[in-house]
Structure 1
Amino acid sequence: MDTVPETFVDAFGEISLKHGMIRIELVSLSGSEPRVTQRLITSLQAFSQMLQAQNGMREQLEKAGVMRSSQPSPGAEPGSQPTSPSPVGLETGEAGATVVRLMTPPALPAAATPAATARRRPKSPNFSDEQ
């Protein structure tokens, strides 16, 4: 049997829709700052199939008691938040590109400058911050 390469992902960085393709940044947290190590680029159809497969797996894990449901329980108070992480921000950039940022930037000291803030975001070896 042939060995298939595997990739470990600490976190997802930015998920964006650009030029009709979904781009998902795969982030490593092993260094002093988060950094993008790879990017998964897929069609909208493949992205939809991936979401269906992931939701099916999540449901199986919830039934097995490995994970808690991300849906509020029937007795939960109105306005309470689900326990699963939610996107940090949704933006629409140039040419209608949609960007979802999933990583929460670390807390910054009061005197932090914009340049210091930019250094803490995951760095992509392939793209600058310009779209």
Structure 2
Amino acid sequence: MSGDMRELLSSLDLQPTVDKVGQGIALDFAQYSLLRDSADAKLYQLLHKVNGNGKLEPATRQQSEQDLRTLQDACLRVSHLLQTSCLALRRLQLDFQDQRLAREALESQLAYMQACLRRSLACLRRSLASFDRSA
């Protein structure tokens, strides 16, 4: 993906699409792809900022970049695993009760990840607020 395309994708307002996800609405392939590409573009933009931050120690900058790339790889892996797990569960032709259990299990895993995100973002906000007060 070119730099211009990344910049365009990272600047898109995808809040209506994100809201659909929050409401439990399944996205069509185009919306899903755009959301994925935009998420990647925003991460690349962040990586560029981290990499260009001359105030950071080189080892810290490298570790931060590696952690962000690992996160991106893990997100891609999780999305693939969710899709393949759902396909595998569908092939099992589970009865209604077991289908409900499968859905609850997958949704619980995602809820756990969302809770982790919310806690991490709260920590980041506290760090920013602390930094603002000290400046």
Structures share fold, TM-score greater than 0.5: no
Report the TM-score, using the length of structure 1 for normalisation: 0.31
Structure index of larger Rg: 2
Bigger helix fraction? 2
